[in-house]
Every structure is written in C-alpha cells, then in structure tokens.
Amino acid sequence: MSAIPTGPRPSPGKEEGVGEVDTFVLVPHPDCPSHAARSITVTMRREGGMLHLVYRVAGAIGDVLWPVAADPAFTDELWRHSCFEVFVGNKGTLRYVELNIAPSVQWAAYDFDDRRMGMRRADGAAVSAVVWQPGVDVAALRATADLSGLADTDWDVGLTAIIEAKDGSKSYWALAHAPGPPDFHNRDCFTARLAAPSGA
C-alpha cells in the first residue's frame, strides 16, 4: 500500500551544537486531528551509529498532557501517552529498531524481526542526553540514540509522535501515513533516508 504523502520538508539547516542536520515535518493522521499541537518538526543527524534528534512541537502547549518528570531509565509502554518515536531499519532488510522517548526523559528501545514480529528489548540500542524544554507556544525534546547494533548500511527512518491532549484525545504524527488506522510500524512510513558513514 502506498503511504499518504509526507508534509513539506524544509532544506537542510544548521542546528547549534550539532552541525549539519536534515529537518522534517510530521503530519497528523487524517482521522486523528490535533486541537493542541499545530505543527511538529524534527531535525536529525547521523554520526556513525549515533543519531542526534530534536523534536519541536508548536501550538497550545498547555493543552497537552505531558508526562511528569522522572529518572532517565528504560520504561515500557511510553507510547500510551505523549511520546516521541523513531523507527530505524537497515535498507533492504525487514528488521528494525523502535525507540520511544518521553518528555519525562524516560526511554525504551525494541528490536523487531519484521512488522510487529519478534518484539524484544534491543540490546544494541540506547537513548541518552534527553532534555525536555517546554514553553508557552513551543516545546522541544532533544536526545541522542546509540544505534551501533545496526549494521553500517543506509538507514530507512520513520519519525513519529503521539500527542495526548488534556481532553483525552490523541493525535498521531508521522512523516507519512499508510491507508487505514495509524500504524507507525508500517514500513511505508519509513520515508527518511540516512546514508551510511563514508567508507562503511
């Protein structure tokens, strides 16, 4: 199935302290519009097996139900509430890694053999340096993911977010959405490409 086209993608830019990055615009699933978030952009840069990420949410930030601060530890089921996610797979293979990063600064990393199959904790992936910066109109989450467990090949990447409003509604954001209900595990949604390091 073909994916619903992604939102517009701005040109690569410069993120202070990170270097050259690509910026992507997420779009909400058409069946789940958001009354709180107006836009979500993501900047990311690959450095070998490391992935540097910055998520920015613009809108009525105070209308979003954000998880409360906690210790930066591995935590399951973060996706049940407001959460930022990354799906990374080696180009041409079925295996992929799912990262969940919450504003609480908790995180999780899972390995899959295929779409939603063989789920297990990812031994070769971890998230660190999570910083949550909420504001009145814009909130930002910064994090670094160690994906050295993936081979040094090109990566197919899906960038996603779940935004839970205080009224209980949820919106599902991604680079692209396949037809039907929201499904971030659909490989059609892994539309970003990150090249392998030179010489890999």
Half-sphere exposure of 40 (CA within 13 A, CB side): 29
Domain span at 22: 13-194
pLDDT exceeds 90 at position 65? yes
pLDDT, tens digit (0-9, with 9 covering 90-100), for 22-32: 999 999 999 99
* Exposed / middle / buried, residue 3 (Cβ in 10 Å: 0-12, 13-18, 19+): middle
**Does 111 reside within a domain?**
yes
In a domain, 162, yes or no: yes
Domain count, the chain: 1
**What's this model's pTM, rounded to 2 decimal places?**
0.89
Q: Looking at the domain assignment, is residue 176 inside a domain?
A: yes
Strand, helix or coil at 62? helix
Tell me the per-residue pLDDT of 101-137, one tens digit each, with 9 for 90 and over: 999 999 999 999 999 999 999 988 999 999 999 999 9
For residue 129, being part of any structural domain is answered with: yes
Note whether residue 102 is domain-resident.
Answer: yes
Least confident of 83-92, 133-142, 147-156: 147-156
How is residue 78 annotated by DSSP? G
